Chains A and B, each alone.
Chain A
Amino acid sequence: DVVMTQSPLSLPVTLGQPASISCRSSQSLLYSDGNTYLNWFQQRPGQSPRRLIYKVSNRDSGVPDKFTGSGSGTDFTLKISRVEAEDVGVYYCMQGTHWPPTFGQGTKVEIK
């Protein structure tokens, strides 16, 4: 299975400051159709996961533009431009290029 490695695993952030989460895959996530199936999910405390970003950099409907995804191949990043209290939770990257889909360990974002 493709191993997804996130860093850091814990991210204390001051309100209004930016945050960045890294995700690395053990294999390239570029699929034969030319797409890279790398998604980012947010899971707030006590809630179901919510997809924020699909195919590296596409925001899902209703996701604020403070969330930005980037990267290619095996290295990917999720950036939050200005962290707000509602952004507290665990963030997961997930690859859908190779079966089975696999998730990173999660990065816990908290307010400093």
Chain B
Amino acid sequence: EVQLVESGGGLVKPGGSLRLSCAGSGFTFSNAWMSWVRQAPGKGLEWVGRIKSKTDGGTTDYAAPVEGRFTISRDDSKTTLYLQMNSLKTEDTALYYCTTDGRDWGQGTLVTVSS
């Protein structure tokens, strides 16, 4: 059974940083393209970014609102996906999900950016 477990969320001040983790199991993590998707409270879904598998280049792509501030990385030896978030803004407040490019989803971790 595929499992994705996010962690690392919390309360942070505007301008601060946070690193989210997503531990994957039950599938061949190294072969998977992995993504982060967020959902602001009471709102819809927004794709944050994606990282390809290393065999497909391991490259990353980001949505415009986070480009230059967020960095996605992966450690295939630990079957873990990361999201480094810098220069956080109040509008980054959301539940952050990791997903195997849409097929399987974690339960999400809440990030609140507030002074």
Contacts and interface: CB of A to CB of B under 8 A. Distances in A.
A103 B63 contact: no
Interface stretch (A15-23, A24-32, A49-57): A49-57
A102 interface: yes
Contacts of B37: 49
A105 B44 contact: yes
A51 B107 contact: no
A100 B63 contact: yes
Given A100-B63, A103-B46, A48 B97 contact: yes
A106 B106 CA distance: 20
B75 interface: no
Contact of B45 (A1, A60, A96, A103): A103
Interface string B32-70: 000001000000111100000000000001111000000
Contact of A103 (B44, B97, B108): B44
A48 B105 contact: yes
Q: What class of interface size applies to chain B in its complex with A?
A: 10 to 19
Q: What class of interface size applies to chain A in its complex with B?
A: 20 to 34
A101 B103 contact: no
A51 B45 contact: no
Contacts of A106: 44-45
Interface string B10-44: 00000000000000000000000000010000001
B97 A49 contact: yes
Interface string A50-86: 1100100000100000000000000000000000000
20 contacts: A1-B64, A41-B102, A43-B45, A48-B106, A48-B108, A49-B97, A51-B102, A54-B102, A54-B103, A96-B101, A96-B102, A100-B47, A100-B63, A100-B64, A101-B102, A103-B44, A103-B45, A104-B44, A105-B44, A106-B45
Interface of A: 1, 39, 41, 43, 48-51, 54, 60, 92, 94, 96, 99-106
